[in-house]
Structure 1
């Protein structure tokens, strides 16, 4: 049976919630993020701000240079979580098969729904109407028979729009799709693909599959399948957490090994706390250290480790510092990889 998948994505969620609750923030360039005087970055911004080139994850200081009239306010995560629960409640009226990706987006499988005579398009439209009328927020939706196409489609008619890709349209849609639009294809990977003359799904379909697998491994296989309109993934109503991490961005760069060791000592208790919440038995398979330098390039060193060892982070740090090349360090992160080969009762459910 052909599946009916809906991907719903709220439009500039944090900023939209703030503008909804404060009329003075409506119709002006608005962003949620940290201060320009530290190492603040934007978590999101509205479409008025995007017209100036402002975007998510951009340093606040740079955003203000692009848009001097930008209003930047700190986020209120507790409020966003509360509204997210209200959004989840709306989703639950239409199906029990829901895979949340974040506070403001989710996949819904409505293949077995009898609502609107089984029309996924009408269900998606009704979800959008409910969100707007009850929460005064807008959402965009993509409807397709497979997950990744539904996600791509939800972005096509943003903001406050819907895009439907029928089973008959899948092949042509994917063939014309820019590879950078496919989830998982980041900037670096896209550049590598482009150097091989691969720009669209059609290009990948015409490429030698063996070469693609040799050059990109497991990802190459996934890309090959997607470009042939294949995505076998089901909607996951619970998600297995594969890692837990903490990180700190410094107000000013640090440079020495001693400063890095001190940062690790301060981060370690936070990592333990998060690990405790995420996994009761703390079974891990690896530890890692991430450094981000003052040129915004970053490096990560990870090694297998079956028991959590604070001193092992220091060893990983020493290896990572060999790549410093005199650069200042703006961020340090610690992470542990979790053993996902567990029984269902030990899996960590995504919490809204």
Structure 2
């Protein structure tokens, strides 16, 4: 199952301001034209407004859009209720995707290995989805949607069909016909560059057409790994188990700041980086690991960049610089990493 809130930030904010329930609403850090939309309800989407859109563009599409501020405490509370419902299922595996989205393997709850019954399993899965949606609604006063499928790929596609405020099951028997109406770009995990390469190379990007292409030819054009992945996805095949993303061996720890930081004195950059090293050290010590090398990457303002960026607290046009330093001995000490990072910056 793939379970996801509908318009999470917007839904939580509108819940406590019902006077906006029938109006186009967006959640953002501000209402200026340079503000970016984090979430918008389906009424706003009907005007063409999308998450990640600049407010200036959104207002052109929907002049009457209402902008609400972030309410992080409420988001956290709603998320806790959501995960309490999901974890209360006692499913085989649970994979958190985000604060409002989760993948759940419910095989142990709907399968009867002694008396296999596909119709019965599907009925139990649909009944479970209804209960999940009812419980989430009772505890958060918000809607969630549920996609059901025999693997992660099909559950994700089913979720898209379920939204908003619904549930949908994608059966193995109907997978081929369901996928035949889609394009390769509709497949989760296939980015725009890959889909454009497919269209340019084969003159089509419909799944029905791509299924007729041999795996060897796809591999020759897209590369062995991507070619095989596309071949399988077009047939509804996805062997990835729920929870696999949580089990990947971690080989590095990092702290990234992707908003523009403005310094006004010479000592501030060094203090800032040392503060980042303290947070990095905290995370490493929690997992009882040490690091043998340190990489410092800086995106400095481009000499020709405007002082005022288009996006609030954005980086604007930058020049990236990176340097890797091998430590004398592995460490997780903030003081050591901070001293090395400061030396690199000089």
Larger strand share, 1 or 2: 1
Deviates more, 1:55-64 or 1:235-244: 235-244
The alpha-carbon deviation at position 102 of structure 1 amounts to 0.7
Give the match for residue 22 of structure 2.
27
Paired with 1:70 and 1:274, the residues of 2 have a C-alpha distance of 39
Are the equivalent residues in 2 in contact too, given 1:54–1:67 (CA < 8 A)?
yes
Equivalent of residue 229 in structure 2, options 216, 222, 227: 222
Query: Using CA pairs below 8 Å that are at least 6 residues apart, which structure has the higher relative contact order?
Result: 1
Give the match for residue 247 of structure 1.
257
Are the equivalent residues in 1 in contact too, given 2:81–2:139 (CA < 8 A)?
no
Are the equivalent residues in 2 in contact too, given 1:143–1:165 (CA < 8 A)?
yes
Structure 1 portions without partners, runs of 5+: 1-5, 285-305, 337-352
Aligned: 1:231 with 2:238: yes
Aligned residues, how many?
A: 297
Secondary structure, aligned partner of 1:279: helix
Paired with 1:225 and 1:152, the residues of 2 have a C-alpha distance of 15
The alpha-carbon deviation at position 244 of structure 1 amounts to 3.9
Paired with 1:237 and 1:189, the residues of 2 have a C-alpha distance of 23
Are the equivalent residues in 2 in contact too, given 1:154–1:162 (CA < 8 A)?
yes
Aligned: 1:123 with 2:128: yes
Residues 246-284 of structure 1: per-residue CA shift (max 9 Å, x gap): 234459xx9xxx99x999768645643553454336666
Structure 1 or 2, whichever has the larger Rg, is: 2
Paired with 2:75 and 2:172, the residues of 1 have a C-alpha distance of 35
Give the match for residue 301 of structure 1.
none
Paired with 1:243 and 1:82, the residues of 2 have a C-alpha distance of 28
The two structures, once aligned, show a CA RMSD in angstroms of: 3.5
Relative to the length of structure 1, the TM-score reads 0.72
Give the match for residue 60 of structure 1.
55
Equivalent of residue 43 in structure 1, options 28, 38, 42: 38
Are the equivalent residues in 2 in contact too, given 1:95–1:109 (CA < 8 A)?
no
Equivalent of residue 146 in structure 2, options 128, 137, 141: 141
Paired with 2:178 and 2:103, the residues of 1 have a C-alpha distance of 20
Give the match for residue 298 of structure 1.
none
Paired with 1:137 and 1:202, the residues of 2 have a C-alpha distance of 37
Structure 2 portions without partners, runs of 5+: 113-119, 307-314, 324-346
> 1:108-187 counterparts in 2 under 5 A?
108-114=104-110, 118=121, 119-187=124-192
Equivalent of residue 82 in structure 2, options 81, 84, 87: 87
The alpha-carbon deviation at position 37 of structure 1 amounts to 3.3
Question: Given the superposition, is the C-alpha separation of residues 125 and 334 from structure 1 closer, same or farther in structure 2, using an over 3 Å criterion?
Answer: farther
Give the match for residue 210 of structure 2.
204
Paired with 1:54 and 1:334, the residues of 2 have a C-alpha distance of 36
Paired with 1:221 and 1:176, the residues of 2 have a C-alpha distance of 21
Paired with 1:227 and 1:78, the residues of 2 have a C-alpha distance of 41
Give the match for residue 70 of structure 1.
65
Question: Given the superposition, is the C-alpha separation of residues 243 and 146 from structure 1 closer, same or farther in structure 2, using an over 3 Å criterion?
Answer: farther
Question: Given the superposition, is the C-alpha separation of residues 144 and 309 from structure 1 closer, same or farther in structure 2, using an over 3 Å criterion?
Answer: closer
Paired with 2:268 and 2:207, the residues of 1 have a C-alpha distance of 44
